[in-house]
Every structure is written in structure tokens, then in C-alpha cells.
Amino acid sequence: METVKLLKSGEFLVAETSPDDVFIPEEFNDEQRMIAQTCQDFLEAEVYPNMADLEKGDRELMKRILKKSGELGMMGISIPEEFGGFGQSFVSQMLVAETTGAGYSFSVAYMAHCGIGTLPIMYYGNKDQRERYVTKLATGELIGSYCLTEPGAGSDANSGKTNAKLSEDGKYYILNGQKMWITNAGFADTQVVFAKIDNDRVMSAFIVERNFTGVVVGNDEHKMGIRGSSTAQIYYNDVKVPVENLLGKRGEGFRIALSILHMGRLKLGANVVGAAKKAVTDSVKYANERKQFGVLISSFGAIKHKLASQVIRLFASESAVYRVSRDIDGMMETLKADCGDTGRASIEAISHYAVEAAILKVFGSEMLDFVADEAVQIHGGMGYSAEMDVERGYRDSRINRIFEGTNEINRLLVVDTAMKRAMKGEFDLFGKAEALFNDLDKITGGESSGESYFIEKSRYIQNFKKVIMICIHGAVKQFAKNLINEQEVLNNIADMMMETYVSESLLLRVTKLENLKEIKPVYRDILDVNVYDTAEIVRKSACDAIYSFASPETTTSLIKAIEALTTVRGVNVKDARRRIADKLIEDNRYGF
């Protein structure tokens, strides 16, 4: 891998990144494109023709399709070759997650198996556990699941009541408790189960087999969406789990759970990109077929506005997904050289980018909700019919804002984690923020005559970062340790951070495309509208925060500074969106 400059998680707030240091989707190599095509072909051949039956809750059908994907090698993408996989890069793993994201309920079952059902054992298991389980999970011989949530423990995962006690002979842990919302529960062979040993304060993790005596799987839940995935409660009644099935160390379960959630958030960020591409393609194809008032609806300005808005949010989200994926690959290589364990290096690298993982999860899931909603609207009455894929996509989309930690929890994590990293001295956030806050009267937008297109856009992004830092300093100064209880203000800051990271990722992508001579006018159109819209979001969020924490004496100067830092050159968004939509309409599919 070529050497790239790696930023620490959250460091984007105070640093500038070169386009040369990011990966963009246009750089996929032939092998990666072949892998993605294999996954796409699988969806076309095995998944889409069976969606109606899968949505009726046919557990055995889903299991058969999952096993077919394993036989094809799709389940071993993340697994090292020594354990039966293909040892692909994290960028490649995210490409597979994206492609399969267009698979509706199959995507949920597949990603649950390949991710949270398999990787805790790969990352935290010992050699024996990896050989016994991972080698079979990598091929689909076994199907995996992950059992964390309990009826009384959702976002507060460590408050679970499931308990394990060592047997008198010391050979088993006796497991008792209940788990709920377990994906693949109806047919999974293995379960990664979290429980507290005796009166431990934190959880431990165990590998439990479905056929262990005392494991009872309930009926599938009736859900709004993802109806083809098996989701059920699992009960543990004096289940004897061999001591050698303790995963990691005693009391390490909470760390395992958090680390796997970071991984799940990243993969979800890629998943929703694939689902959104399917919805956009469905939208434009319908718009190019449906006539009203004697003309195709794709010729109407209002429809073009919707199509372009879908594309802009999707293209920007995709840019962020592969930016952080490259960072994780780089961090994996660094950590692997230090510890020599591929599994541990992988999860430590993933966990390191916790801020960006939460950003991808929240921004991506809300992007998909927007795209899916507009897809239904573009279809009109037919969009509400179960005959159309967009109806299923709309229902399936909604769970993503709840999966892998609710978006409310993740918004708080975006800010809290970045601030904690800065407090540890990983990057200078607070010093720069204080300097900006103390010189509010000197702040300007920084415009200079004759600056180039990309210099201008970069200046806007850096100004947005200054707004964020000013708000962080002002909020900390006002609320101190009580800031954690001011969730509305934290949400304002999180929204600014997410929009700015994604806009910067988009800027870096478009800049790199032009450097590579991949010049298409619509790329600048996408960037123009995105930055224009982001400026408004940053301004509104910053003002909301300021009026929540600022004293009357400082409010005027703060608002003046924010106005200066969020002023961007006006854009003819109507014409820009029309050009974006026209390319989509011409291609009759998402192909940006």
C-alpha cells in the first residue's frame, strides 16, 4: 500500500487533507470491480427473484440463499486466508457491503452473519476458536448471529441481566437470560452472547451453539420492514457453555460489543449507499417511463429537482465512506506491524475511527431515508404499491436509523468521542478553539481576489470547521462538565461536524477526479450545491447552539463571526440540479 498521511479520529476538525491521501470509488481496481460484480450477479440470480417468498418469513429459504453466497466465497471477504477467507482490504470489504446493500432483507441477514456474527470471533477469538468456528463461518457451513440486546437493555447495553456462573466442576459456564431483536435467530448455528459472570460490573462474551441444551429460539417478530430477515428472541435456560467458549477475557465483553458496533456502523454506512443507488436507479427508470400531460415526468423541473437531490446526497455520502475506509486500511497496516495479529490489528484500527463510524452511520441512514422517501414520491401512487421495489425499500430503510445504536446515541458519540480524543492530546482542538473564540472581532470569511475554484471551496470547508470549534469552546465554557446533559447543543455541533466531514470528503473526491483528468461538469455541480446547502445547515445549527449557551454580551459578536464564516458564493442551484438530473436521465441509471 502506498504511504498516505493518516489523521487520527476526529482530527479532520483541525487539519487539512490532501486529495492524494484519500481513496475514491473511481480508483477501484479490476479485482475489486470483479468482486462487486459477483455480488451484484448473485443478487440478480438468487435474491431478487425470491424476495416475495423471503418477505413471507421463509427461514429455510433465507438460510439456503445465505449458504449459496458462502459457497460462492462472498462470506470470506473479511477473513484471512489461513481461516478459509480471502483476506481482502477494508476498502474491498466496504465495496462488498455497498453492493449487497441493495439486497433488502438478504443484505441484513448477510451482513449480520459476515459482520457481527463472525468477526467478534475472528477479532477476539483464540486460534482454537478461530479454527473451530471462523473457518466454517467463512464458507457458510455455519451461519452466525450476535446476541447483545435485551428487553430492558437497548442503548444501555451493559445493563443487561443475562448471567453466567461457573459450574462446580469448572468445565462450563451456566448461562441464563433472554435476548431480543436477534437477526438470523431463526436459523443461526452460532451465537455470540453477552452476559455478566457472577456479579461482574461489565459483560463477558461467549460463543454459544444453537444445539446446546437450554437454548430456545422464539417466533419471528412481525416487522415494518426487512421482513425477510429472521428476527426473534432467544432464551437461555441453564445452558452449559464450555469454558473454552469464553470469547476474549473475562469482563472484556463490553469492549468487544463497543468495538463491533463501530465496525457495524461503518459497514452500515456502505450498505445504505448500495440501497440508495438501487432506489435512485428505480426512480429515474420510472420517471423515464411514466407520462403525464403527454410528456415523460422526467422532463418536469420538480422531478429533476428530486432526482438531483437524491444524487447529491448519495454521491457525497459515498465519498465519505471510502475516505475513512482508506484510513482504516492504513491504520491496520501500522497496527499489524506492531502486534502481528491480523484480527486484533483490524478491530483496533476500526475502533480507532469511532467518530467517523458514527458520522457514516447517521449521515448515511438519513441520506437513505431521504432517497427512499423521494423514490416513493417520484413513483406517485405506484410508489405506495407493493408491486414496486421502492415500497419495500422505503419500509426497509427505516431500521437503519435504529440499527447499530440509534442516531440519537450516535450524534452524541460524534461530539463526545472527538472531544475525548482531543483531551487525550491526540490533536489540538481546544487550543485552536479558544484562540478563535478570543478573537471573534478579527474573524472574516477570508475571501481573496483571484482564488481558484478549489481553493475557494477549501476555504469554505475550513471556515465551517472554525464555526464548529467556536461552538465547542463556547459550549464547554458555559456548561463545563454539564455539557453532557445539554443534548440539544451537542446535536447542533454533531450536525455541523457530520455535514462538514461529508462535504470535505466530497471536495477531496472531486478535486482528485480533476487531478486524474476525470473531468465531468456535473461533479462541480454536485459540489457547488452541496457546499451551498451545507453552509446553511452549519449557520442554522451554530446559531441554535449559540442562542443556547451565549451570554447577551457575546451573542452579537458570535453571530457576526458565524455569518462571516458561513457566507459562500451564490449558486444557481436550479440549473446545477437540472444538469445533474439530465445526466441521470440520459444514463437511465445511477452511474456517477
Mean of the per-residue pLDDT values for the chain? Answer: 95
Mean pLDDT of 193-200: 96
The answer to whether residue 404 is catalytic is yes
Q: In order of start, what are the domains of the chain with their CATH numbers?
A: 18-142 (1.10.540.10), 146-247 (2.40.110.10), 254-409 (1.20.140.10), 420-587 (1.20.140.10)
pLDDT of 225 above 90: yes
pLDDT of residue 582: 98
pLDDT band at 591 (very low <50, low <70, confident <90, very high): very high
Give the active site residue among 55, 98, 391, 404. Answer: 404
Mean pLDDT of 195-206: 95
- Cβ-in-10-Å burial (0-12, 13-18, 19+) of 339 comes to exposed
pLDDT of residue 2: 55
Least confident among 34-43, 394-403, 549-558: 549-558
pLDDT of residue 343: 83
What percentage of the chain reaches a pLDDT higher than 90?
92
The larger pLDDT score, comparing residue 347 to residue 520, is at: 347
* SS3 state at 198: coil
pLDDT of residue 292: 94
pLDDT of residue 1: 46
Mean pLDDT of 360-382: 98
Q: How far apart are CA 79 and CA 87, in angstroms?
A: 5
438-448 pLDDT per residue, tens: 999 999 988 88
CB 230 within 8 A of CB 191: no
Phi, psi dihedral angles at 2 (to 5 degrees): -65, 150
Q: Global pTM?
A: 0.96
6-45 pLDDT per residue, tens: 999 999 999 999 999 999 999 999 999 999 999 999 999 9
Mean pLDDT of 186-205: 96
* SS3 state at 405: coil
Mean pLDDT of 91-106: 98
pLDDT of 349 above 70: yes
CA dihedral 277, 501, 448, 454 (to 10 degrees): -40
pLDDT of residue 3: 64
Cα angle, residue 462 at apex, residues 315 and 424 outer, rounded to 5°: 100
pLDDT of 571 above 50: yes
pLDDT of residue 479: 96
* SS3 state at 315: helix
Q: Which amino acid is at 37?
A: Q
CB 248 within 8 A of CB 193: no
